[in-house]
Copies of this chain bind each other. A is one copy, B any other.
Amino acid sequence: MNNDFRILYTQFTDTAQRAADLNFASAVLGWDQEVYMPAKGADARGRQLATLTTEAHKILTSEDYGRLLAALVTAAATSEATEDMLANIRLSTLDYEKNKKLPAAFIEELSLLTSQGFNAWVDARGKNDFSVFAPHLEKMVALKRRQAALYGYTTHPYDALLNEYERGANIAMLEPVFELIRKELPLILKKIKGSEQVSDACFKTNFPKENQWDFSIKVLQQMGFDFEAGRQDYSEHPFTTSFSSSDVRITTRVDEHNFASLLWSSIHEGGHGLYEQGLPESQYGLPLGEAASLGIHESQSRLWENCIGRSKEFWHYFYPILQQHFPDSLGNLPEHEFYKACNRIAPSLIRTEADEVTYHFHVLIRYELEKALIEGSLEVKDLRNAWNAAYTKYLGIAPPDDKTGVLQDVHWSHGMFGYFPTYTLGSFYAVQFFEKAKAEIEAFDEHTKSGTFAPLLDWLRTNIHRHGRKYTSEELCTRVTGGGLDPQLFLNYVNRKYGAIYPGQ
């Protein structure tokens, strides 16, 4: 019987890993599409991605695979299956049941529309005109509503989509979080507005692109990113993707007259990249080889970007190095002024360049809008106006054009509805993990001050990365910190940190 289990388990890993090979191939094609592909390659790339996705889906929804999983569940009951094996079987069975809900034709349609939608979004951005993208977005919203119906849900179609990125999350869990943002963050912002303002002009002088690149590589190396198992490239919209835990690609962008653009992108994606490199290689293509959720993924990027990358201790080590890279721009600026500039709080239009406080208004806006699109209370033709109204309401500024407004994010063109909330969840988890790591790692601040990040990376590897997708976000958070999501901890962190930078009048 035990022997039977082993044979079945090998058949299972063979099948799952074959599908993973196809999905990782899709990831290579997707990476190339955004990093190096020439414009005219788009059509063929679209159909190639559609075929890869369809073939992987075929494998993972085949009756054979379903029977194999069912047989495994039975065989596991009387075998010496390890806890990890059981987790892989359990999660793959959940995935199978979910995948079975989407017909192959739907998958192909979604993949094709994603590719066309992405190209239309690029085109629309170039033309700074939402109406170029709108017809594609309309189709995408209709398709995502169908997807929600196919998955099924009890209270709200948005829950079904959310679950794709954050297993176990739903509107009922999110609403209190966003309610806190709606209520508490304006109070913090008000206090900041009443203080002496911080300037970030030092980021906006002249920063030769090559030196920016070199500095980012230096930071990533110091963080522990393994460049033999990954690389950094440029893309329009920074992202992280991986083709195994030994081949992790991050991207950044560069603006000669705004060093902040590359700096925070590189550290942020570097945090994602470290998580991918830390996933167990032995679990290639299996649930335990995958990230826990997008929220947990974002907790890693936000922890490195904000809790580490915007800390006094980090710049104690890196600022002299940075000054050597840009003696003309930063040679005469004191370290504490630069630290404050890194932490300037001010309402702005672009999410990816927002500070760690106002950032959550950007997420809130997207959450409210996409929820409305999915439930049908907002139509795509009204989206631009709704977007601009929301920015006026929450951030007090309206976008002057579509490029800095409703067209700024790639997500909806990719059909990613339900993704944005994970950014806020991730930021909140990040603070919880960070506080715990600080409490558990001896001389934490001293390590950061000397540019030594191995203790933190080890802690993250041990407590978070190595588990793969074994636990839900909430289970993992509870294992690591002793409790689930607690937005109050984020508020405390923000009050403490920014209370010092913006002490009020």
* A residues neighboring B (CB under 8 Å): 17-18, 21-22, 24-26, 28-29, 32, 36-41, 43-45, 47-48, 50-52, 55, 226-231, 233, 243-244, 246-247, 284
Given contacts A21-B47, A22-B51, A47-B17, contact A40 B246 (CB under 8 A): yes
A44 contacts B25, CB within 8 Å? Answer: no
Partner of A231, one of B26, B38, B228, B244: B38
* A47 contact set on B, CB distance < 8 A: 17, 21
* A50 contact set on B, CB distance < 8 A: 21
A243 contacts B55, CB within 8 Å? Answer: no
Q: How many copies altogether?
A: 2
A244 contacts B44, CB within 8 Å? Answer: yes
Given contacts A41-B244, A45-B247, A246-B40, contact A22 B52 (CB under 8 A): yes
Partner of A39, one of B22, B52, B228: B228
Query: Which of A28, A50, A230, A243 counts the most B-chain CB atoms under 10 A from its CB?
Result: A28
A38 contacts B244, CB within 8 Å? Answer: no
Per the bound structure, the CA–CA distance linking A228 and B231 in Å amounts to 25
* A24 contact set on B, CB distance < 8 A: 44, 48
* A25 contact set on B, CB distance < 8 A: 25-26, 28-29, 48, 51-52
What residue of chain B has the Cβ atom nearest to residue A284's Cβ? B44
Partner of A32, one of B28, B227, B228, B246: B28
Q: List 25 A-B contacts (CB under 8 A).
A: A21-B48, A22-B51, A24-B48, A25-B25, A25-B29, A25-B51, A28-B29, A28-B48, A36-B231, A36-B233, A38-B228, A38-B230, A38-B231, A40-B228, A40-B229, A40-B246, A41-B243, A41-B246, A43-B246, A44-B243, A44-B244, A44-B246, A44-B247, A45-B243, A55-B55
* A21 contact set on B, CB distance < 8 A: 47-48, 50-52
B246 contacts A22, CB within 8 Å? Answer: no
Per the bound structure, the CA–CA distance linking A102 and B22 in Å amounts to 22
Per the bound structure, the CA–CA distance linking A227 and B32 in Å amounts to 16
* A38 contact set on B, CB distance < 8 A: 227-231, 246-247
What residue of chain B has the Cβ atom nearest to residue A233's Cβ? B36
* A55 contact set on B, CB distance < 8 A: 22, 55
Q: A50 to chain B: closest CB distance in Å?
A: 8
* A231 contact set on B, CB distance < 8 A: 36, 38
Per the bound structure, the CA–CA distance linking A21 and B25 in Å amounts to 11
Q: A18 to chain B: closest CB distance in Å?
A: 5
